[in-house]
Amino acid sequence: MRTEIDPTLLIGLRALEPYLADIVIVGGWAPYLYALHQGAVRSSPPRTADIDIAVPRALPPRGPSIDELLSRAGFECEFRSRDVPPVTAYVARRGDDDVEIEFITDSLGADEQVVEVQDGLTAQELHYVRLLLENTWTIDLAKFFHGDAGQEVRVPTPAAFMLHKGLVYRKRSDQLKKEKDLYYVFYVVDTFVEWHDWIRSDLSTLAARWPAWLKRCAANLGGAFAASDSAGVQALLNQRPQTAYSGLNDDQFREYAWSTMKALEEMMRTAPQSSGR
């Protein structure tokens, strides 16, 4: 049976095709792309119409700029702040749903500013984005979509993705986004058991470069999932899709989710002692 790519994501990928080698698809679409790499979307993670894209602080032009390409594809640039330059988002109206693309880049200092990364294109500086930009995995969509989307896209490695989410979720002021961050981490570690050896090895590589970040992430998860009735477990229960884990009642899911996240925490705590690839 043919697997179809989500039309929301396809709209964004087609518009940005000349720059797919330069950008990294992050946020909730990364786990979705992991699942596509496995040949089918099994139990889908929660997704939105928002496409978050990590970009380097300076993005060389490759013909038309990203701002021009998105404009040609029907996206409107909207200002989301009064900063100079402002936080921007590109929005395309598609029936009842909007497709929204936002760009982020790595913050070099303590403050998180807005920077122009290409003529007409700004990106929000955020901490830890270098994890997503420097630890990537390329997925060839042509292998799965038979010419529907014949591009390669870059995503963070699963280990880098989970480490980033485990660091940033505590800074969220939006409770819903905080819960989604935690559910994405749970989804990746639980869905892709066959990747655990790779994840352990990659965590060891990340620990060698950013030991304090890995330690902080493990501590964050340890606090959020200290017991089966902890706030982190409740967040996972709140975000659990109706069709996911249908064989488990709420109490059983709490125990299962808690044990899964505790295993990830232990994986992170022991990563510096793990053997590298």
Using one digit for the tens of pLDDT, what is the confidence trace for 134-160? 999 999 887 655 555 457 999 999 999
Domain ranges in the chain? Answer: 7-156, 159-272
Distance CA 31, CA 106 (A): 21
**169-183 residue pLDDT tens:** 999 999 999 999 999
Q: Say which residue the tokens 């913050």 belong to.
A: 107
Which of 196, 184, 201, 182 shows the shortest CA–CA distance to 135? Answer: 201
pLDDT at 6: 84
Tell me which amino acid residue 43 is. S
| Token pair in block for residue 214 | 């890995």
Cβ neighbourhood burial of 251 (10 Å; 0-12, 13-18, 19+): exposed
Average pLDDT per 10 consecutive residues for the chain, totaling 277 residues: 72 92 95 82 69 96 95 93 85 82 93 93 96 96 58 94 97 93 96 94 96 96 97 96 91 98 95 56
At position 32, the amino acid (one-letter code) is Y
Report the alpha-carbon distance of residue 271 to residue 244 in Å, rounded: 30
Tell me the pTM.
Answer: 0.92
- Whether 108 contacts 126, CB under 8 Å: no
